[in-house]
């Protein structure tokens, strides 16, 4: 059945010339982090993934938030806003494919997220892969009888994005193994699907996603705060979590990259301010408690110890 699907005329989305070697718009983006998922090949030819811990976390962005660049990041953000429309999916075309399309998309995006987590890929890789998927669905209507190909399309998008953002790229055989034994796809199917996606999107794969602009939006939001460095990192971390959740919904498809980033940053910023206020209150309460205990026990040598019957306030003699 799989072979018939892959070679049917309706499945032309998987077929294109495989001898193209140009990536016209491939540029290095400062927001695209390089991964540390290592793939090793054993003597028997099997790929095994190392257990190397991804130590990037938010360290790169912490340095970015500490920078003193005045208007530079604002200029970059404006440039991204001007260009992001070139990488926006068309929600109307995706929605026109039927009620089940959004559910299928949500399921495959969840699988893509799990795959990126297993491979220790960075967030930039995951969100770029989702962008490729959404834009592909905007130019190709996947018919009901071909939706069995969704896992194949999703894993091909992850593979393409990884080649753009990661240092260590897993082999197609490794990706095939991670798809599980129940899916009748092999490495050649993944490769052909990659080429079909690239051809459909005009090789425009260095895309602008909400994650691409997120750090710049955070820095702009926190620029006037006296505690901007620590606050910005806290806001960024929470905003990433918000993005990971929102990626499954319709709003993620409807909004531009900057709109999605700003919405997540607004929620994260409000939460960070509330958390800071609670922490300050807890610190103040702790200081008051320590002072009170010091006066009661005579821990402060210049103060009289309070007798059991003396009101505490009378011992606050300065």
Give the CA distances from residue 25 to residues 15, 164, 206, in Å, rounded to whole numbers and listed in that order: 22, 11, 7
Domain 1-11+28-33+70-208 annotated CATH 3.40.50.720: no
Predicted confidence at residue 51, as pLDDT, reads 31
Residues across the chain = 318
In the three-class reduction of DSSP (H, G, I as helix; E, B as strand; rest coil), residue 162 is classed as helix
Query: With contact defined as beta carbons under 8 Å apart, do 240 and 122 qualify?
Result: no
Tens digits of pLDDT across the chain (318 residues): 344 334 433 333 333 333 333 233 333 333 444 444 433 333 334 333 333 333 344 556 666 666 655 458 888 889 999 999 999 998 888 888 877 888 889 999 999 999 999 999 999 999 999 999 999 999 888 776 666 788 889 999 999 999 998 988 888 888 888 877 777 788 899 999 999 999 999 999 889 999 999 999 998 888 877 777 778 888 999 999 999 999 999 899 999 999 999 999 999 988 777 765 555 555 554 555 555 555 556 555 554 444 544 444 444 333
Q: Could you tell me if 165 and 205 are in contact, meaning their C-beta atoms sit under 8 angstroms apart?
A: no
pLDDT for 210: 95
Q: What is residue 247's DSSP assignment? A: T
Q: What is the rounded CA–CA span in Å between residue 137 and residue 241?
A: 25
- Distance from C-alpha of 220 to C-alpha of 177, rounded to nearest angstrom: 43
Q: What pLDDT score was predicted for residue 177?
A: 83
pTM as predicted: 0.70
Domain residues of the chain, as ranges?
Answer: 1-11+28-33+70-208, 210-318
What separation in angstroms does the CA of 29 have from each of 41, 124, 205, 233? Answer: 30, 10, 12, 20
DSSP line for 270-292: HHHHHHHHHHHHHHHHHHHHHHH
């Amino acid at each position: 059945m799989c072979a018939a699907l892959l070679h049917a005329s309706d499945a032309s989305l998987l077929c294109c010339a495989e001898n193209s070697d140009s990536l016209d718009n491939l540029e290095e983006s400062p927001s695209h982090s390089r991964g540390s998922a290592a793939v090793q090949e054993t003597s028997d030819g099997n790929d095994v993934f190392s257990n190397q811990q991804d130590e990037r976390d938010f360290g790169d962005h912490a340095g970015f938030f500490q920078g003193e660049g005045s208007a530079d990041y604002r200029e970059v953000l404006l440039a991204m806003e001007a260009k992001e429309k070139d990488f926006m999916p068309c929600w109307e075309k995706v929605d026109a494919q039927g009620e089940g399309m959004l559910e299928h998309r949500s399921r495959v995006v969840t699988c893509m997220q799990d795959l990126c987590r297993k491979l220790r890929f960075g967030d930039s890789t995951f969100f770029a892969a989702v962008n490729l998927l959404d834009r592909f669905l905007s130019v190709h209507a996947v018919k009901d009888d071909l939706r069995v190909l969704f896992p194949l399309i999703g894993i091909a998008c992850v593979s393409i994005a990884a080649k753009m953002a990661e240092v260590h790229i897993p082999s197609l055989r490794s990706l095939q193994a991670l798809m599980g034994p129940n899916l009748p796809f092999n490495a050649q199917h993944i490769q052909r699907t990659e080429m079909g996606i690239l051809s459909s999107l005009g090789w425009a794969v260095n895309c602008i996603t909400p994650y691409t602009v997120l750090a710049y939006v955070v820095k702009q939001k926190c620029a006037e705060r006296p505690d901007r460095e620590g606050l910005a990192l806290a806001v960024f971390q929470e905003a990433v979590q918000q993005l990971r959740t929102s990626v499954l919904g319709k709003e993620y498809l409807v909004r531009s990259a900057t709109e999605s980033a700003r919405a997540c940053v607004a929620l994260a910023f409000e939460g960070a301010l509330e958390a800071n206020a609670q922490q300050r209150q807890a610190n103040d309460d702790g200081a008051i408690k320590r002072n009170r205990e010091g006066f009661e026990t005579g821990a402060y040598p210049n103060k009289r110890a309070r007798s059991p019957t003396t009101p505490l306030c009378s011992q606050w003699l300065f």
